Amino acid sequence: MRTIVLREQEQGEKRVALLPDAIKRLTAQKIEVAVESGAGIHSGASDREYESVGATVSEDRSQLLASADILVAVNRPPASDLLQLRPGAVVIGFLRPLDEPRELEPVITRSLTAFAMELVPRTTRAQSMDALSSMATIAGYKAVLLGAAQLPRIFPMLTTAAGTVPPARVLVLGAGVAGLQAIATARRLGAVVEGYDIRAAAGEQVRSLGAKFLEVDLGGIQTEDAGGYARELTEEAMQRGRTLIAEHAKSSDLIISTAQVPGKRAPLLITEEAVAGMREGSVVVDLAGASGGNCALTQPGQTVERNGVTIMAPLNLPGSVPIHSSQLYSRNISSLLGLLVDKGELKIDRNDEIVKGACVVFEGTDVHPRVAAALGLAPAAR
Ligand code: NAD
Which of helix, strand or coil describes residue 374?
A: helix
Would you call 37 a catalytic residue per the annotation? no
Centre of ligand 1 to C-alpha 199, Å, is 8
- Phi/psi for 163 (5° steps) reads 125, 175
CATH 3.40.50.460, domain 136-315, yes or no: no
130 as an active site residue: the answer is yes
- Boundaries of CATH 3.40.50.720 in the chain? 2-130+322-375, 136-315
- How far apart CA 189 and CA 145 sit, in angstroms, is 9
183 near 206, Cβ under 8 Å?
A: yes
> Which is the catalytic residue, given 52, 62, 80, 127?
127
Cβ contacts of 244 within 8 Å, gap of 6 or more: 196, 214, 216
* Contact (CB, 8 A) for 8 and 20: no
Write down the catalytic residue from 2, 7, 122, 240: 122
3-state secondary structure of 250: coil
Residue nearest to atom 28 of ligand 1 (CA): 229
Which of 130, 199, 205, 235 to probe ligand 1 with, by most ligand atoms within 8 A of CB?
199
pTM: 0.95
CA 59 to ligand 1 center in whole angstroms:
41
Q: How far apart (Å, rounded) are the C-alpha atoms in residues 114 and 90?
A: 6
Q: What are residue 295's DSSP bridge partners? A: 270
Considering only CA atoms, give the Rg of the chain.
22
Superfamily of domain 2-130+322-375: NAD(P)-binding Rossmann-like Domain (3.40.50.720)
The span from the CA of 366 to the CA of 360, in Å, is 8
Print pLDDT tens along the chain (382 aa): 999 999 999 999 999 999 999 999 999 889 999 999 999 999 999 999 999 999 999 999 999 999 999 999 999 999 999 999 999 999 999 999 988 999 999 999 999 999 999 999 999 999 999 999 999 999 999 999 999 999 999 999 999 999 999 999 999 999 999 999 999 999 999 999 999 999 988 999 999 999 999 998 887 788 888 777 888 888 888 999 999 999 999 999 999 999 998 888 999 999 999 999 999 999 999 999 999 999 999 999 999 999 999 999 999 999 999 999 999 999 999 999 999 999 889 999 999 999 999 999 999 999 998 888 888 887 776 6
Pairing of strands 56-58, 341-342: unpaired
Amino acid at 134: S
Nearest to 95 by CA among 121, 65, 117, 70: 117
Q: Is 127 in the pocket of ligand 1 (CB under 6 A)?
A: yes
> Are residues 191 and 277 in contact, defined by beta-carbon separation less than 8 angstroms?
no
- The answer to whether the beta carbons of residues 182 and 172 sit under 8 Å apart is yes
